[in-house]
Amino acid sequence: MCSYCRFSDEGINHLFLQCSFAKALWSWLQDMIQIAINLLFTILIFNFLKRSWSSQGMDVLASMVVHAI
């Protein structure tokens, strides 16, 4: 169960893109940097990578995103 919204399982898509907390964070980030972030494109990239990368590769990607924020 997601630690932030307590609504869904903690998958990469949920934690970074679908969780209400993540959506609020992305919205805040867009406001701060004044650049629109296309979340649909981001979801497509995550889904593509999830099929072709190992779970370790996805963990590295997730930690890179967290570090960048």
The residue ranking higher by pLDDT, 48 or 20, is 20
Q: Distance (Å, rounded) from C-alpha 23 to C-alpha 52?
A: 25
Average pLDDT for the chain: 80
Q: What value does the mean pLDDT take over residues 50-60?
A: 78
Q: What value does the mean pLDDT take over residues 21-29?
A: 87
**pTM of the predicted model, to two decimals?**
0.55
Q: Determine the pLDDT at residue 14.
A: 82
Q: How sure is the predictor about 68, in pLDDT bands with cuts at 50, 70 and 90?
A: low
